Amino acid sequence: MGKLVAETMEIGLIITAIVVIVFDVTMWCYTSTIRGYQFTTFVGARIGDILGMFVLYSMPVIVLTIIATAYLAIKQQYPSDLRASWFRRFCRLLWTRPLVVNEFLGVLNGFDLLVILSTIFVVLWMVLNELLPQLRSLHGNPMAGLLKWKPIGVVLGRVAVLPISLLLIPVSRSSPILRAIDIPFEQAVKYHIWLGHLTMAMLLGHVSIFIGIFAYKHHMVKLVTWPPTGVSYLAGLIAFVAGSLMWITALPLIRRRFFNAFYYTHQLYILFFAFLVYHVGVTTAGYYIGGVFLYLLDRFFRVHQSRKKMLISSAKILSNDVVELKIPKLPSMEHSALSFIFINIPSISPLEWHPFSVASSPLDETAITLYVKPFGITSWTQHLHTLVTRSTKKNGSGCPFAQKFSMEGPYGHESNFFLRYKTLLLVAGGIGITPFLAMISDILHRYEAAHTYLPQHVHFTWIVPTSADLHILQQLAPTSIFPQLQSSNLTIVVDVYVTRDNAIRPEFEPSLSVARNSADVEPSLVETMSIRHNLHMACLILGTVLISITLFAILQHHALKRQKNGFGEKIPSWIQASLFFCSLAIGIGGMGGFLITCWSKTFRYKRNSSASVVSNETEFQLQENVLYQPHQFPGCDDLELGARTLCHQSYTTLRKGRPILSEVLDAVLERYTNENVGVLASGPESLQRDVANMCRNHSSNNYATAQILNYHSVSFRL
């Protein structure tokens, strides 16, 4: 009965979300028409201009967020069957069928094209509806050549509000909207990039036209004026300069060579949005403040989450210089197998945060494992490698590994979508193996727990430069997780292609490792609040929104509407904007801080209650597993566990050169016919494009067949 009610509520929430989306799109299209302008004026006259714009344009985004949070809470309580209905299978095709593959756009699926085309349609609709009537009114005017430019500049500025309203939603890491449709942050970043280019291109045209008009009329002094009321050109110019710096440093050529410059420059978003409000006024800010508010709340939550300093329990350097980090965690910590976390180590850099894929299963109740490949001589990852190397030398004298760090996350896919495929084809390059280790480990744990509807065939193709990279495979022993693997219906096949040296199974050197004493493990257990606490997240969003609106409404009605200055005029618009910022700060910082504090205390109480009932045997296993270090021996067998690691020849075949992906795919499809195959790629962008192109060509050539290739990218790359 509960399952039926949950499914009914899910359908109701989905229908409500569709209605809200249709209403929001309709309002954006309608606002550019004469009747739309009359309607917004009518609403503003009834409830106030500022509140009217907020309700019509920003509130739908917040309502959609609350709906998504409720949907996630139901899905968390009543997980859906992996055997999806035809409607869900059709929706998944939008996400998993590559339609466009090229170097400029990357890999685009049906959902990506839907987002691009719908955004372009609404923008063009708004531009044409606002611009054409004004241009017709200038027809026959001898000064039309000059006068035409001003309405074009005005329209570009007005329509730019649409992409601005959506700009920060894709980069809100805890966004319930993205989690509800299972688009992780690392894949949603591309929407932010596209919207950023569109926004700055329109603002560039807007600013250029007005600077040209002012220069022609010799009114350049207006650019540095800030009138008490009306439009402040100086504020707009400051916002544009801040946006331009972010835009330039975000270009791929600059971002990849000078990432720190890109990262620090992007903190100017505060100036951009603040002076944008000073430029256009609080009323116009009602068009886009919803997405900005949710992003600021996300940042506040992340700051609170990352305040706690934790300790890395152990670190190890493998033969290929990859650094393995183990972070102890509580069994109650929830994340998916394809999760990633951001970590900051103050001893390396107090400001730099770096994302790393989790290489361990969420069913591993003892620790989170990360693998870090050092790149560059002066990079953050190289500094981490140096830090661990120095610690291993000191460890001989009894010095513990006591590096403190902060963590954000875990983020990533909301669901373990790979479990719905009977056959998995995994293709990785280099350190891109990390998420696939977590996947294989998770599948093994689920087989051991006797779960149903699990993958039966895992074919893993890994491309590495040297055979020393195989040392990572030695860290996973399948039969130590699932002892009945050989007699089960699960098969794991690993093909390793070595591109530089000879494909000879190496004798690995002993790992350089350093670990904390087992008595010190308990204080460092990860105990961060999770974005998966959906009801708490809903209360946080609702509480902060209501307090911010209420506080500003009080200021608006009792201060701005009634108070007059000495000249009998309204209070200047910059004061109104400043009071608006104060309302947001108190709503997010005050009410948000109060709710998060209550949330944190509740979390600690539940953690302490659950910790008090843990048996001594479980505690002993936790400490032993956290500090476990596999030993090297011929054949890659593990003497401690008495089990073969994934590096063993019974799982892994070494090959020389690069694979021909089409032949790899044909071999898998020939062996496992009439099955939907999940194809996952992790590694360099060129590798992902090759795999996506392979899936697209197969789908195009075999459209009528029952066998479908479902492509997924699991790489994180800014």
Question: What is the chain's mean pLDDT, rounded?
Answer: 80
Tell me what pLDDT residue 708 has. Answer: 75
What is the predicted pLDDT for the residue at 614? 40
Is 259 in the same domain as 358? no
Q: Is 461 in the same domain as 491?
A: yes
pLDDT tens digits for range 685-715: 888 888 988 888 877 666 545 567 889 988 7
Return the H-helix or E-strand segment holding 121.
helix 110-137
Q: Are residues 285 and 172 in the same domain?
A: yes
User: Given phi > 0 = left and psi -120 to 50 = alpha, else beta, which region is 18?
Assistant: alpha
Mark whether 326 and 299 lie in a shared domain.
no
Does one domain contain both 375 and 514?
yes
What is the rounded distance in angstroms from the CA atom of residue 187 to the CA atom of residue 171? 10
For residue 393, is it within any domain?
A: yes
**Average pLDDT for residues 379-396, to the nearest whole number?**
77
Cα separation, 284 vs 709, whole angstroms: 46
Instruction: Give the relative orientation of helices 185-216 and 110-137 as an angle to the nearest 10 degrees.
Output: 20
Q: Are residues 291 and 401 in the same domain?
A: no
For the chain, how many structural domains are there in total? Answer: 2
Contact 301, 539 (CB under 8 A): no
Quote the distance between the C-alpha of residue 620 and its chain's center.
Answer: 36
Same domain, 88 and 166: yes
Which carries the bigger pLDDT value, residue 636 or residue 378? 378
Query: Is pLDDT above 50 for 398?
Result: no
The answer to whether residue 528 is domain-embedded is no
Please tell me the distance from the alpha carbon of residue 267 to that of residue 256, in angstroms, as a whole number.
17
For CA atoms 634, 640, 642, 648, give the dihedral sign: negative
Summarize the confidence of residues 603-613 as an average pLDDT. 58
Q: What is the pLDDT of residues 452-468, one digit of tens each?
A: 888 888 999 999 888 88
* pLDDT score of 629: 37
Examine residue 566 and state whether it is found in any structural domain, yes or no: no
pLDDT tier at 19 (50, 70, 90 boundaries)?
Answer: very high
Of 59-73, 74-88, 526-540, 609-623, give the lowest mean pLDDT range.
609-623
Q: Is 578 among the domain residues? A: no
Residue 570's pLDDT is what? 64
623 pLDDT above the threshold of 70: no
Task: Quickly state the pLDDT bin for 192 (edges 50, 70, 90).
Answer: very high
Same domain, yes or no: 175 and 97 = yes
Q: Do 165 and 92 belong to one domain?
A: yes
Phi, psi dihedral angles at 101 (to 5 degrees): -135, 110
Q: Which letter does DSSP use for residue 276 in this model? A: H
Pair 96, 114 in one domain: yes
> What is the mean predicted confidence (pLDDT) over 235-245?
94
Give yes or no: residues 274 and 368 share one domain: no
What pTM was computed for the model?
Answer: 0.86
61: in domain? yes
Least confident segment among 24-28, 74-78, 86-90, 673-677? 86-90
**Token pair of 405 as six digits:** 């760090």
Select from 304, 324, 344 the last residue of a domain. 304
SS3 content of the chain, % helix, strand, coil (to 5): 55, 15, 30
Stretch 521-543: mean pLDDT: 68
Same domain, 258 and 324: no
Q: How many helices (H) and strands (E) does the chain have?
A: 26, 18
- Give the CATH number for residue 675: 3.40.50.80
Which pLDDT band, with edges at 50, 70 and 90, does 565 fall under?
Answer: very low
Task: Report how far apart, in Å, the C-alpha atoms of 102 and of each of 119, 218, 617, 689 are.
Answer: 21, 47, 54, 7
What phi, psi does 384 have (nearest 5°)? -65, -45
Domain-embedded: residue 197: yes
Rounded to an integer, what distance in angstroms lies between the CA atom of residue 110 and that of residue 93? Answer: 8
Parent domain of 398: 312-521+630-713
Q: Which of 288, 304, 320 is where one domain is finished? A: 304
Q: Is residue 624 in a domain?
A: no
Percentage of the chain exceeding pLDDT 70: 81
Rounded to the nearest angstrom, the gap between the alpha carbon of residue 252 and the centroid of all alpha carbons in its chain is: 19
Domain boundary residue, one of 304, 320, 343:
304
> Looking at the domain assignment, is residue 613 inside a domain?
no
Instruction: Give per-residue pLDDT as tens, 466-503.
Output: 888 888 888 888 888 888 888 888 888 888 898 887 65
Encode pLDDT of 316-373 as tens digits: 888 778 888 888 877 767 788 888 888 888 888 888 888 888 888 888 877 888 998 8
